[in-house]
Amino acid sequence: MEVVILADEREVGAFAAGRIASMIDKHPATVLGVATGSSPQQTYRVLAEQVDAGLDVSRVSAFALDEYVGLSRDHPQSYHQVIAETVTEPLGLDPSRVHVPDGMALDLDAACADYEDRIAAAGGIDLQLLGIGANGHIGFNEPTSSLASRTRVKTLTARTRADNARFFDDPDQVPRQCLTQGLATILDAHTTVLVATGTAKARAIARIVEGPVQALWPGSVLQLHRRATVVVDEAAAAELELADYYRYTDSQRRLREAERRTD
């Protein structure tokens, strides 16, 4: 794993947006995997600035990680709505190229299979942007999710429902189930970039980066990915044992990049 430790949320967002923008520059028809939650919001803001400055996203398509079961598409907290407001509209993506699992489908299993088919038909996800739950979940793959899982129905933990209650008027309104890309679906992405900030994420980051690969900390599955980057601020890096090593390797990477620029 590539671990990048930066000063604060602004730098984390700028770094992740930079990785996304350079992929879109090279491959204008990039298929992005997009996440909800507060963590990637700065990334989207910086990316929107780059679009304003001329980054061409007209051929970019996007797949969301997950969706609540039972919230209509126009519910303000449905991920259809959240992705529209935080990604599709500010970046000016073509809405017909933005996909979110259908949490209102009568046959949820069929909706999950259809989502996997749509990702495959798009040629797979080129870059998957991820946040992380305090309990180590990525997407909505809660602890003990199968490391081989595909898009499916999951039941949310009490911890996740409590964490997400801040987005709802009443904690009881937080749905109990969701559809989420599986851990194996996420591993299929060509590149993954996970962003995390703040002390509430420090334990999860230490577990998934330096702990064993285990279903109890689902994000740890990224250790099996060939191109996984974890970008954190100092607060989220606080429990990493090898933080100095990551800072050193990152300074070497920056040196190499600077040398390439002056060649």
Binding site for ligand GLP (CB under 6 A): 35-39, 65-66, 131-133, 139-140, 160, 164
Integer Cα distance of 35 and 129 in angstroms? 6
Q: State which residue, 157 or 249, has the beta carbon closest to ligand GLP.
A: 157
Integer Cα distance of 47 and 146 in angstroms? 33
Integer Cα distance of 69 and 171 in angstroms? 16
The amino acid present at 132, given as its one-letter code, is I
| Shortest Å, Cβ 128 to ligand GLP | 11
Does the annotation count 141 as an active-site position?
no
Q: State which residue, 55 or 63, has the beta carbon closest to ligand GLP.
A: 63
Cβ partners under 8 Å of residue 197, min gap 6: 8, 9, 12, 39, 232, 233, 235, 236
| Shortest Å, Cβ 18 to ligand GLP | 19
Q: State which residue, 39 or 86, has the beta carbon closest to ligand GLP.
A: 39
Q: State which residue, 24 or 37, has the beta carbon closest to ligand GLP.
A: 37
| Shortest Å, Cβ 143 to ligand GLP | 13
Candidate list 67, 135, 141, 164, residue with the active-site label:
135
Does the annotation count 135 as an active-site position?
yes
Candidate list 75, 80, 99, 137, residue with the active-site label:
137
Integer Cα distance of 233 and 103 in angstroms? 33
| Shortest Å, Cβ 25 to ligand GLP | 26
Does the annotation count 75 as an active-site position?
no
Integer Cα distance of 87 and 260 in angstroms? 32
- For the residues of 177-241, what is the DSSP string, one character each? EEEE--HHHHHTSSEEEEEE-SGGGHHHHHHHHHS--BTTBGGGGGGG-TTEEEEEETTTTTT-T
Number of residues written out for the chain = 263
Integer Cα distance of 43 and 247 in angstroms? 21
Does the annotation count 66 as an active-site position?
yes
Q: State which residue, 55 or 137, has the beta carbon closest to ligand GLP.
A: 137
Candidate list 102, 142, 163, 233, residue with the active-site label:
142
How far is the CA of 223 from the CAs of 3, 211, 227, 239, in angstroms?
Answer: 11, 10, 9, 17
Active site residues: 66, 135, 137, 142
